[in-house]
A and B are shown apart, each in its own frame.
Chain A
Amino acid sequence: MKFTRDITIMESKKIAVLSGKGGTGKTFVSVNLADAAGKSVYIDCDVEEPNGHLFFKPEITSEEKVTVKIPVVNHDLCTGCRKCTEFCRFNALAYLKDKVKVFEDICHSCGGCMLVCPQKAIYEKDLAIGKVEIGKSRQVKILSGTMDIGKASGVPIIKRLLELGSLEDLTIIDCPPGSACVTMESIKDADFCVLVAEPTLFGVHNLAMVHELVNLFKIPFGAVLNKCTDGENPAEKYCDDNDIKILGKFDYDKEMGRLNAQGEIMSRVDKAYNRKFAELSYAILEEIK
C-alpha cells in the first residue's frame, strides 16, 4: 500500500476525532491515525486528562504556560455604580459590602467589565490555568495541553494548542469527550470529524450527541465503530438509519486492549493494525478530497 506517498494529499488538513463519552477509543484512533500517516501533527485537546503522550512518549522540546485575563478592581476608584456587575453575562461579579467581588472561575475573560467601568477602576491580571507542551515522537509532532487542577474551563488552553499546531502537515485533533464548549473549541476549524462509537445503546446515545454537534457546525464527518462483536451493533444501526458513512470498524480485541493498556501504539507494533489505520486514512481522504 502506497500509503505514505498518497497521504501528502491530506497535508494541511485538520481531522478532529470525537465521541460523546470517554473510553470509546478517541485516543486510540487519533494516535494511530497520526502515527500511520508518518509526518503529522497530533494535538491532545483533552486538557482535563491528556493521555496521548502515554503512547507517543514524546521528547518534550518546549513548554509554555497558558494564562487568562481576570479583572481586578481598584476599590479606591470604584463608586459602586454596578455597571460591571450588570454587564457580566456570566455573573462573575457581585457587589457586596460596598465592594466588587470577582469570581475568577466564572469569568470568561471578555474584558467587558473593564470597558464599561466609567471610573476606569478595573484592570486585568494574568491568571495561569495550565500549560502546553510540544514534543516529537518519530515523525509525529505532539502538542499536549494540561489544565491545572481546580480550574473551570480548558478552552483557552485548547485555543493555544490549535494556534501552535502546524498548518503544513496533516493534523489529528484528539478531542475531549462530550459535546460541550471544550469539544466545540476543538472541532471548530476542523476540515473533517471522525465520530468514534461503541456498539451499545449508551454508545448510540453518545453518538447522537456528537452527531448533532457536527451537524450544527456543518463539518463533514464519518463514523468509526470500535469494539465491535458478533452481536448486534446499535451504533451501526444508528449510522445506517441516519446515513452516516462508516469509515472503519475495529473488532473487540483483547490482545490489542492489553498492548494499548501498556502504552503501545498498535500501528507501530502490529502490521495488521498499521494496515487498518492506513485504510481508515484512505477512507477519510475519500471524504475530504
Chain B
Amino acid sequence: MKLAMPVNENNIKSGICYSFGRAPWFMIYDTEIKKEFFIDNSAASSAGGAGIKAAQLLVDQNIDGLITPRCGQNAAEVVQGADIKIIKSQGEDIEENIKLFESGKLTLLDEIHTGYHNHGK
C-alpha cells in the first residue's frame, strides 16, 4: 500500500506540513517494503489551484491513501475522484503517523475546508 503525506523537508524526521497544496515536499511511503521517497511539490509555487495540482501529482504516483491534517475541497475532489482515501493525521511526527495508520488508529478526514485562496496565509 502506498501512502502520501505533505511534509516540511525531504526527510522522515522533518514533520507533517500543515498545508496540503503548498507543502514543500510530499513523502510517499510503501507499507510493504517499508521505504519512503520524497517528491518536490511543484504545485507549491502556483498562482492558483495549488491543491488541484498537488493532488494531481499524488494521483500520478498511484497512491492508495493520503495522510494529511487538512485538505481543500478541490484537492479532495481530485484525490477522492481517483479513489484515494483521505486520512486525518495526528500530530506532526511522520513515523508516529505511519505507526498509527498501520495499527488502524487513524480515521478518515471528515472535514474538507472550502479553500483559503491566499486569504489564510
List the interface of chain A (C-beta within 8 A of B): 85, 88-92, 94-97, 101, 103, 106
Contact = CB atoms under 8 A, between A and B. Distances in A.
Contacts of A92: 49, 52
A91 B50 contact: yes
Contacts, number: 43
A29 B82 CA distance: 52
B78 A94 contact: yes
Contact of A94 (B48, B50, B56): B56
Assign chain B's interface to a size class. Answer: 10 to 19
B82 A90 contact: no
Contact of B55 (A88, A94, A106): A94
Contact of A103 (B46, B47, B49, B59): B49
Which 4 pairs across A and B sit closest by C-beta, in order of nearness?
A91-B49, A91-B53, A90-B48, A91-B52
Contacts of A101: 77-78, 81
B47 A106 contact: no
B56 A95 contact: yes
B81 A90 contact: no
Interface string B21-47: 000000000000000000000010011
Contact of B43 (A91, A96, A97, A103): A91
A90 B43 CA distance: 10
B74 A103 contact: yes
A96 B57 CA distance: 11
Contacts of A90: 47-49
Nearest to B83: A97
A106 B48 contact: yes
Nearest to B117: A152
Given A90-B47, A91-B43, A91-B46, A103 B82 contact: no
Contacts of A95: 56
Nearest to B81: A96
19 contacts: A85-B56, A88-B49, A90-B47, A90-B49, A91-B43, A91-B52, A92-B49, A92-B52, A94-B81, A95-B56, A96-B82, A97-B81, A101-B77, A101-B78, A101-B81, A103-B49, A103-B52, A106-B49, A106-B74
B48 to A, nearest CB: 4
A148 B50 CA distance: 25
Interface in B51-92: 52-53, 55-56, 59, 74, 77-78, 81-82
Contacts of B49: 88, 90-92, 103, 106
Contact of B47 (A89, A96, A97): A89
B70 to A, nearest CB: 18
